[in-house]
Amino acid sequence: MTLQFSLGSIAPETVETPCVVVGVYENGLLTSAAARVDSAAGGAIKRQVESGDITGKGGSTTVLFAPHGVQAKRVLVVGLGAQKTFDGARFQKVNLEAARALSRMPIDSAVSFLAEADVPGHDAAWRARTAALAADYATYRYTATFKPREKGNQPELRSITFAGDEHAQPGLDQAIAIAEGVRFARELANLPPNICNPAYIAEQAVKFADAHEPVSCKVLDHEEMERLKFGSLLAVGRGSANKPKLIVLEYKGAAADEKPYALVGKGITFDTGGISLKPGPGMEEMKFDMGGAAGVLGAFVSAVKLGLKINLVCVVPAVENMPDGDSYRPSDVLTSLSGLTIEVLNTDAEGRLILCDALSYTAQTFQPKVLIDAATLTGACVVALGKYASGLMSKHDDLADELLRAGENTLDRAWRLPLWDDYQVQLESGFADVANIGGKNAGAITAGCFLSRFTEGQRWAHLDIAGTAWDEGRKGLATGRPVPLLAQWLIDRAGGRES
């Protein structure tokens, strides 16, 4: 189910809705909307503040049912925390918690006044977009047919109206498109690997292209890639019965002769580690190893839905890494599409082996303005940055700054790691041009250094999303990151203009 969003200039005390949402800061300070509801309800909110039932703690929620004097059947009071330190991250958090509380109620719609809260440095459009994206994220439910949702008699949340005027509309429009891309990425990544294999991802890309006139899709099979000499990518897929695919989506939103921006995403649909087999515990999470592919596809979806006036290419190498009698081995030497030879020291460092050929193909075929890859590439990045920030590497300071700003804007944040040539020595090989791993130290950085050898002459950046693409645990779901970051970066490249 897709949550619907709208804007409205309405009064919190008189709007007829199953639930109205207002905010209260710590120390009992009421927002304008909360004060109006409180006045109409004869002090109902202030009494609960005085009793300690409403604390104002950031993200806390309290429901007042059918307060006298208010047209709404319920009032959801959300704690905003200390007003002095209220910022964008807290604003996102309180909207997430508000949406979670709404989704637990037997209601089909609500009206939120949280976007009226002042967030230093951010305008009405940003607040509307952030509130809507937070609500969409919090209310997402995995909808695969083999785990059907229980159908009850109670209504489910289907729409939220945010209090706001025409100044907020551009932000809400962006939110609707970005949310669609995030959902596309999450649904794809959450699917089990026996469903979401390379052929399935290709089918979804073709289906999307067929439904959108400015979009075309080409899929290269393993025979075509063998003819073109994708030696590194094909080696990774040799052990699997599910043959590799290279998926190429093109969106024409600008003049035909204008060079495109290019996104490349790691699409390992399941990663056993190959001959360098991973430990069994936790291996089930390796269905998420195509999170980079899901992320760039989701960003592509968002750009198309926004109608951005740019040309955009999205390339996904989709491969399954399995152990088999025909699998590639440690000590094998591969010849990549670029002609560089690679000594395989570990078959579980396979993401960079499919990406290097995909990056070479993208650069050679499209000569893009900018080339960005996203990949669940290294556990080392998770150790370094945890689950909150994606790792960002680039030799281009201006490009790195653009991506960092886009991440801060959307709260889909990244942190820059060095890509100095000093680290390249760790990739030296006595048997090939380069080794596929650089040892235990600086693992995320040496992975980026490996990819940099295949992007010479390109304005290129690498996003390691190994810590941010999914939530850990047996019930952990894909997050859809870095769709918001990449979508914002593309909006910025288009100058914010939409067709």
Q: Catalytic annotation on 405?
A: no
The amino acid occupying position 372 is I
Pairing of strands 245-252, 311-321: antiparallel
What is the Cα–Cα distance from 427 to 276, expressed in whole angstroms? Answer: 19
Tokens 């060095």: give the residue: 418
What is the Cα–Cα distance from 152 to 150, expressed in whole angstroms? Answer: 6
What is the Cα–Cα distance from 449 to 417, expressed in whole angstroms? Answer: 11
Tokens describing residue 425 = 């020595």
Tokens 């790195």: give the residue: 400
Given the residues 278, 405, 416, 459, select the one marked as catalytic.
Answer: 278
What is the Cα–Cα distance from 186 to 176, expressed in whole angstroms? Answer: 15
What is the Cα–Cα distance from 386 to 363, expressed in whole angstroms? Answer: 31
Contact between 282 and 217 (Cβ < 8 Å): no
Say how far residue 98 (Cα) sits from the centre of its chain. 21
What is the Cα–Cα distance from 464 to 459, expressed in whole angstroms? Answer: 17
Q: Catalytic annotation on 73?
A: no
Say how far residue 215 (Cα) sits from the centre of its chain. 21
Residue 416's SS3 state is: strand
Question: Which of 70, 65, 75 lies closest to 24 in space, CA to CA?
Answer: 75
The amino acid occupying position 11 is A
Count how many residues are written for the chain.
499
Question: Which of 221, 458, 230, 447 lies closest to 336 in space, CA to CA?
Answer: 230
Residue 268's SS3 state is: strand
Given the residues 46, 74, 352, 481, select the one marked as catalytic.
Answer: 352
Specify the DSSP element, H or E, that contains 357. Answer: helix 351-366
Question: Which of 442, 137, 179 lies closest to 302 in space, CA to CA?
Answer: 179
Catalytic residues, by residue number, are: 278, 352
